[in-house]
Amino acid sequence: MVHQNWASFAILLVFSLLLPCHSYFITVDAHAEECFFEKVEDGTKMSLHFETAEGGFLDIDVRIVGPDGKVIHSGERETSGRYTFAAHTPGVYTYCFSNKMSTMTPKIVLFNMQIGEQNKHEAQKDGESTTKLEDMIRELSGALTGVKHEQEYMQVRDRIHRSINESTNSRVVLWSIFEALILVAMTVGQVYYLKRFFEVRRVV
């Protein structure tokens, strides 16, 4: 019996790790809006994670709309966000990233929509029974997915900060070269002026 429990645990753990949960990079052009759709049942937990990776001031407009047209979330000029909610009615849920406020700069956004499980009460109505071991595996799977998402966001932040540092370093180098050229020009000018000055004195 113990071996069967451990075998079930191992199978469910592997299955939970192999569940598809991917993050996506999308490019939202200036004056454009990109929308995505998820069809779920009533009571299903949904979680949207996103972060603006590149473009402009790293801001994007976000909107989540239910099947009935009800706006679940609406945010303007957001850099990143995590929104979790339960489906209040079955149907297709829409989440959009809008860059209409930008005049010419496209934005690159990293996002993922994680679809959870149905409400426990709904599951029991459907005749599904869950064991404590299965609940622990699901919690572990959720925790691992959260760690994976956090690593992806940290990679994006690292990429953003590296880009800012490289841009700042390039500007500092260019400014140093510009200052060096100005100093050389001033030195040459002063030498030329002094040379002309002493030549005039000798003639007099």
Please state the domain extents for the chain: 23-116
**Whole-Å CA distances, 9 to 4, 126, 153, 197:** 8, 23, 30, 94
Q: What phi and psi, each to the nearest 5 degrees, are found at residue 23?
A: -105, 150
Q: What is the pLDDT of residue 145?
A: 72
pLDDT band for position 58 (50/70/90)? confident
Q: Is 9 helix (H, G, I), strand (E, B) or coil?
A: helix
Sign of the alpha-carbon dihedral angle for 10, 16, 20, 26: negative
pLDDT at 45 exceeding the cut of 50 = yes
* Residue type at position 182: I
Residue bearing tokens 């999308």: 26
Task: Check the CA dihedral 58-143-14-134 and report its sign.
Answer: negative
Q: What percent of the chain has pLDDT over 90?
A: 27
What confidence category does residue 91 fall into, taking pLDDT thresholds of 50, 70 and 90? very high
Residue 173: pLDDT above 80? yes
pLDDT at 130: 59
Question: Beta-carbon neighbour count of residue 70 at 10 Å?
Answer: 10
Architecture of the domain whose range is 23-116? Sandwich (2.60)
